[in-house]
Amino acid sequence: MKYVLVTGGVVSGLGKGVTASSIGVVLKACGLRITSIKIDPYLNTDAGTMSPFEHGEVFVLDDGGEVDLDLGNYERFLDVTLTRNNNITTGKIYQSVLEKERRGDYLGKTVQVVPHITDAIKNSIESVAIIPVDGKEGPADVCVIELGGTVGDIESMPFIEALRQLSFSVGQDNFCLVHVSLIPVLGVVGEQKTKPTQHSVRELRALGLTPHLLACRSAQPLLENTKEKLSQFCHVPAANILNIHDVPNIWHVPLLLRNQNAHLSILKQLNLLDLATTPALQDWTRMAETFDNLTESVRIALVGKYVGLSDSYLSVVKALLHACIACSLKPSIDWIAASDLEDDSARLTPEAHATAWETLRNAACVLVPGGFGDRGVTGMILAAKYARENKVPYLGICLGMQISVIEFARSVLGLERANSNEFDDKTPNPVVIFMPEGSRTHMGNTMRLGSRKTLFQTPDCITSKLYQNSEYVEERHRHRYEVNPEFIGILEESGLKFFGRDESGNRMEILELPTHPFYVGVQFHPEFKSRPARPSALFLGLILAATGQLEAYLGRHQNGS
Ligand code: GLN
């Protein structure tokens, strides 16, 4: 196994994840098979309990792993399916070491960070790296490892030490270190400053790791003499100093790397030049250029709880982008804090209330994404009602589907207090209830997580057609509550149809309102499997409906073209 380690220096938020995945893309384009590992030095075992407000979305994998959103970048860029083990955290490592300690596996020895934690890290990396993630058999050729955080952080020290040992044990030809750094420009002098990078490389070297390549983030392209300085002071050949300057969209990054022959430097270090071909990146070039040249846009109202931080819904935003690009449109996302739509807000923050409603009315479609807790639920119900009554295309994802059931039960069935037990455990009309797959009383692990099958009940519905008339779909889940089977009969009689169900027939997975041009709710999260060149069927449906092209599209599809 060959490793490419990507570390970061100077500041966080440099786009290390995008850089690492782009390196993967370029190497993949050279004909190599790539896998990836993200190391998060935080103590959480996984991202499952982390707030999207603070850390961005929790990405969900096929195997039910709740992981850092960077894994989403890897899946989208490399078109792979990762496992929960591809996200290594301090919490996971300590948990495994402590479990071994309790079992007495260390035979009376003092258990220490070095060597026990560092050994566990190395073992974990080596065993995860060989898991095939691209649908083929056998291990990949190269494993790209991204070390989260910034070099010098206290919590990343054991990882740095373990990676140093790994680099030594796998040998020179099998290890390539790319250090991502920042080249700031000071306003007054206008000069590209190399000192922060020098310091962070020095820090890395003091810890026993020498970067083979530098990936320098900057606003403008690097000047030749900045590169020379970096090369001289950081001990990195000029040809290995890459520059990732600001680009109009992230799909340019693999192209930028290829244009600077990053692949040649990396392949040379890894002694892979003989095996690799010239990188074929036509698809990326086309996507990046198409995106740059889009002129028309479509307004999408995203009504959610965590709208302050766009990373909270990163995969939803990406899925919208993929769908829009497929329709030659630029997504124009209008973020609406659901609570601003509520009547209370009209009294307390009238301006925000008025703006939220105006934004909603100006949108071509409405999307209510997943979420937990009751904040903003009333506003989401109002948004779903608005979309249903005004025949505005609506896509409700997970919580968004449950919202549409509550709204329909209240407005159409006249069950005024209909609710989900998540928000009101005493409601007389629990249309959404706690339905764990395991035991109801068993503590923990009550979330329904990961890929599950949804069977279409009829081919004669929009969603089935969008999914190319497949008999079933496999999408990823992350929820505890579900539509109450006792209400299905009456909801369906009144027009809300559950066209997708799980294999037992008890869990409602897809709903549609056939009298509406596009009113779709799904209990799963289609955003996690959307890919740049393969947009999610449902997001595509939403955008097509928002721009009046859905019928024609479905018609064309029916005719087999
Ligand atoms: N809170 C809801 C549930 O647990 C919805 C979850 C979600 O939207 N991911 O079922």
Q: What are the pLDDT digits (tens) for 74-102?
A: 999 999 999 999 999 999 999 999 999 99
Cβ of 480 below 6 Å from ligand 1 = yes
Residue 559 confidence (pLDDT):
52
Residues involved in catalysis: 398, 525, 527
Atom in ligand 1 nearest the alpha carbon of residue 482: 10
Run of H or E residues at 432: strand 430-434
Determine contact, residues 33/23, Cβ cutoff 8 Å.
no
Cβ of 472 below 6 Å from ligand 1 = no
Q: Taking the mean position of all CA atoms in its chain, how far away is CA 247?
A: 21
Cβ of 423 below 6 Å from ligand 1 = no
Run of H or E residues at 39: strand 34-40
Residue 45 confidence (pLDDT):
85
Distance 413 CA to ligand 1 centre (A): 23
Cβ of 212 below 6 Å from ligand 1 = no
CA distance 293 to 111: 58
Both tokens of residue 63?
């195997």
Cβ of 398 below 6 Å from ligand 1 = yes
Stretches in the chain below the pLDDT threshold 70: 438-445, 558-561
Q: If you take atom 6 of ligand 1, which residue's CA is the nearest one?
A: 479
Express each pLDDT in 130-173 by its tens digit. 999 999 999 999 999 999 999 989 999 999 999 999 999 999 99
Strand partners, 181: 216
The CA angle 420-422-426, to the nearest 5 degrees, is: 70
Q: If you take atom 9 of ligand 1, which residue's CA is the nearest one?
A: 370
What per-residue string of b and e applies to 431-468 under the rule 16 or more CB within 10 Å gives b?
Answer: bbbebeeeeeeeeeebbbbbbbebbbbeeebbbbbbbe
Cβ of 371 below 6 Å from ligand 1 = yes
Residue 561 confidence (pLDDT):
45
Atom in ligand 1 nearest the alpha carbon of residue 400: 8
Supply the pTM of this predicted model: 0.93
Distance 22 CA to ligand 1 centre (A): 32
Neighbouring C-beta atoms of residue 225, cutoff 10 Å? 11
Distance 536 CA to ligand 1 centre (A): 20
